Amino acid sequence: MSSIEPWLRGTETDTPAVGRAVLHALQLAEEDLWKWCGSLSDAALNARPAGAAPVAFHIRHLARSLDRLLTYAEGRGLNEEQLARLRTELAPGATREELFAELTSALSAVAPRVRALAASNLEDTRFVGSRRLPATVGGLLVHVADHTQRHVGQAITTAKVVTERILP
């Protein structure tokens, strides 16, 4: 892992700026999760300090939400499998190997989707959720990045609390 953040590495130059920024945010998310959470035990990954969501939830949620958000950006609704996976994001007992395999797989799967969407009209209207809330392709792409980074921050904070106070 480089000490230079992905957005400063000169990569993804064949992708339009918005998509490139999203891809860089996803790359940084993966690097940060490995750095701060990759060595946690299974117990630490599933610990809930003060009732907070565990690190395992944040990793699962960001991996699975990428697929959901990009499905909306592609102009489709969620299918039953996506909804079923949503309902299990907080399930206890995840192992480090399972979590990071799911994360890596999700990030690999969404990269070509982000590239394709970035080349489309970012102003195209899309709808989110069963209430069909209005959004745009560009808005959804930006949300992919900021939502992912939000959960990375929560995972790292929880990992630090668990490491320092719960499971030294």
Q: Which residue has the tokens 């480090």?
A: 96
| CATH code of residue 26 | 1.20.120.450
* CA–CA separation, 92 and 157 (whole Å): 19
Give me the pLDDT at residue 168, please.
46
Predicted TM-score (pTM) of the model is: 0.94
1 in a domain, yes or no? Answer: no
75 in a domain, yes or no? Answer: yes
29 in a domain, yes or no? Answer: yes
Number of domains making up the chain? 1
pLDDT in tens for each of the 168 residues of the chain? Answer: 678 999 999 999 999 999 999 999 999 999 999 999 999 999 999 999 999 999 999 999 999 999 999 999 999 999 999 999 999 999 999 999 999 999 999 999 999 999 999 999 999 999 999 999 999 999 999 999 999 999 999 999 999 999 986 554
83 in a domain, yes or no? Answer: yes
Give me the pLDDT at residue 2, please.
76
H/E stretch holding 125 reads strand 125-128
Report the 10 Å Cβ neighbour count for 34.
14
Question: For 51, what's the count of Cα atoms within 13 Å in the CB-facing half-sphere?
Answer: 0
Q: How far is CA 38 from CA 12, 18, 77, 150, in A?
A: 25, 29, 33, 18
85 in a domain, yes or no? Answer: yes
> Which domain does 39 fall in, by range?
6-166
Phi and psi at residue 10, to the nearest 5° = 75, 25
146 in a domain, yes or no? Answer: yes
